[in-house]
Amino acid sequence: MNSWWLKKLNDKEMTRRINARYVYTLTAAEPISDGFVEYDEDGTVLAVGKCAEGEIIEDVAVVPGFVNAHCHLELSHLHGKFRKGTGMAGFIDQINALRDWASDEVKTELVRKWMGKLWNDGVSAIADISSDASSFPVKQESPIYTRTFLEVFGTEPQDCEGVMTSVKELDEVARRFGIDAAPTPHSCYTMSPQLLSASSDAGLESGYLSYHSQESQEEEDLLVSGTGAMADNRKRAGMSTPPVTGQSSLKYFIDRLAAVRPAPHKEHILLVHNVTLQQDDIEAAKAVMDNVYWAICPLSNIFIHNALPPVRLMRDNALSICVGTDSLSSNDNLDMMAELVCLHDNFPEVTMNELFTWASLNGARFLGKENVLGTIEEGKKPGLVIVHGIDENGNITGASRSERLV
């Protein structure tokens, strides 16, 4: 870093300062142009404001630390092993074939590698999905805050009790590592109705639930009509399939929640992917969920089936959008900036302030960490991230990259 980014206050105390072309505090609708942030050694923000005339300004943006709202760190051993464009049924076949190739020791070391990269790129918190304990030692030692959603699978109704016993045992292991964790359902197409309700109940009990929702048209076809590639995939494998409901998979999920807990649901619920989301689905979710968040993972959706979520519809409904990378089985990298560049390229009407709000503040709110993370303001310790490669209007570009300042 350039020496002018340091400012000595007195003989005993050193505060750090960065002057940037744009400072996205996310406490206002617009960034501070030619702004500064002063912060102490541990990253606590001391002051934010506009630079005096004549000060040297670095041609970068400063944003609060990112919150990766959907990741599967334990799948880092699958990096580079999957074919693209297979659709969801083809992707599931690859997961089943390759998921268990690595030992827990190998998986843990790869989690350590990629979690270190996420930290260096500016990620301050992760909503991570786990089905085993391979990521727990790394999470325990990492400066990144993680809430771990212990993902539950099981298509056969008679297995529900045993699956729930196993995931509760994994929850106890997570607690011994000092990790915030709780069971969570995977998705409608990998779970019996009984297990979907039981695991949802356990997740809601913790106050937080993450659910793969409407990731593909194949998922919708399975629920609406019992047809399509995913239905064929399940039947070939001899698995039970969810009931044909004639309605969307999100509405089916809402019905399974109602089977164990009456609405309204005041817990924090994250619906992940939302590729086939429709207006009536939004209205159905809002009617019963008081704190619902909507995660999008654009590069993962492109990787699997060359699709994107309906961002314009989501914005029109003022949804609380978050951004995640998903896993290295369906992404070439775990790079939040690459996700934002993809969104900016495809939806240029979304402002930079909105994009960074999705990537930082909304994820912090979902995790209940907005008092510490998500905005740059005095007294908070959100992590400060430098964004290189911005254009003359402060927009990110194909050359943009993020770098942790503190």
Digit-coded pLDDT (tens) for 3-21:
334 444 443 368 999 999 9
pLDDT in tens, 326-352: 999 999 999 999 999 999 999 999 999
Domains of the chain: 3-63+393-404 (no CATH), 66-334 (3.20.20.140)
Give the model's pLDDT for residue 237. 87
pTM of the model: 0.96
Residues 308 and 315: beta-carbon distance below 8 Å: no
- Residues with Cβ within 8 Å of residue 393, at least 6 apart in sequence: none
**Mean pLDDT per 10-residue segment, the chain (406 residues):** 42 79 97 97 97 96 98 97 96 93 95 98 98 97 98 97 98 98 97 98 98 97 95 90 95 97 97 98 98 98 98 98 98 98 98 98 98 98 98 94 98
Question: How do residues 40-64 score in pLDDT, each as one tens digit?
Answer: 999 999 999 999 999 999 999 999 9
pLDDT at 194: 97
Measured distance CA(86)–CA(78) in Å, rounded: 16
User: What is the full DSSP assignment across 45-69?
Assistant: EEEEEEPPTT---EEEEEEEPEEEE
Calculate the CA dihedral of residues 179, 163, 291, 244 and round it to 10 degrees.
160
